[in-house]
Amino acid sequence: MKVAIFGGTFNPIHIGHLIMAQYVKNFTDVDRIIFVPNGTPPHKNSEIALPQHRFEMVRLSIEDNPDFEVSDFEIKKEGPSFTINTLEYFSILYEKVYFIIGSDNLFEIKKWYKAEQILKKFPIIVLPRERERDLIRKQIEKFFCIYNAEIILIDMPIIDISSTEIRRLIKENRSIRYMVHPKVEEYIIRKGLYKE
């Protein structure tokens, strides 16, 4: 089975994440998308809901889609979540493991822990976050030349929804309807998340 790992803080998961994952399913030969919420993200620390809340919000968002699943691998792991460790773990379980990133991360990936290993060993699926596709294509060509990296750019509209904006609206007591799955909205209200 070929799987694509979709990691992130998912703080909270929103409709944009789900649309992006569906585009990956539609336009690649991936059999399943595995959402992997971070346990302790190495670069972020403020305003992050507890891992069990973020995991549950992902689970609620995807439970009716047989092509999606959620893994608690990074949540259960001690210490910071490094991408290479997650990809290595899933590569033992599956025939081929792709890694999904936004194009903003394509320009930052060289700074990541063991970035060269990621680029050389794992095919990457890039989702556009900027309108300037030529810059993204140039970066893909550069990584191909240096690392022989297999990188696929998905042609899709830019989904401009952010978890940061959702948290801001919640703090201001404004509605987040249509920005997150209805079950996630209900969960956030019930648990009183992101109020402070």
Q: pLDDT band at residue 87, thresholds of 50, 70 and 90?
A: very high
Position 189 in a domain: no
163 part of a folded domain: no
Q: How far is CA 41 from CA 31, 51, 93, 193, in A?
A: 27, 10, 23, 19
Write the CB contacts of 52 (distance below 8 Å, at least 6 apart in sequence): 75
Each residue's pLDDT tens digit, 43-77: 655 689 999 999 999 999 999 999 999 999 999 98
Number of separate domains in the chain: 1
Residue with tokens 């033992």: 92
**Angle of the 51-62 helix axis to the 15-27 helix axis, nearest 10:** 50
Question: For residue 196, is it within any domain?
Answer: no
- In this structure, of 72-86, 106-120, 178-192, the range with the lowest mean pLDDT score is 72-86
Residue 166 included in any domain? no
What CATH number does residue 104 fall under? 3.40.50.620
Mean pLDDT of 8-27: 97
Residue 102 in any domain: the answer is yes
Domain that holds residue 74: 2-158
* β-pair type (151-153, 124-127): parallel
The predicted pLDDT at position 177 comes to 97
Mean pLDDT of the residues in the chain:
94
pTM equals: 0.94
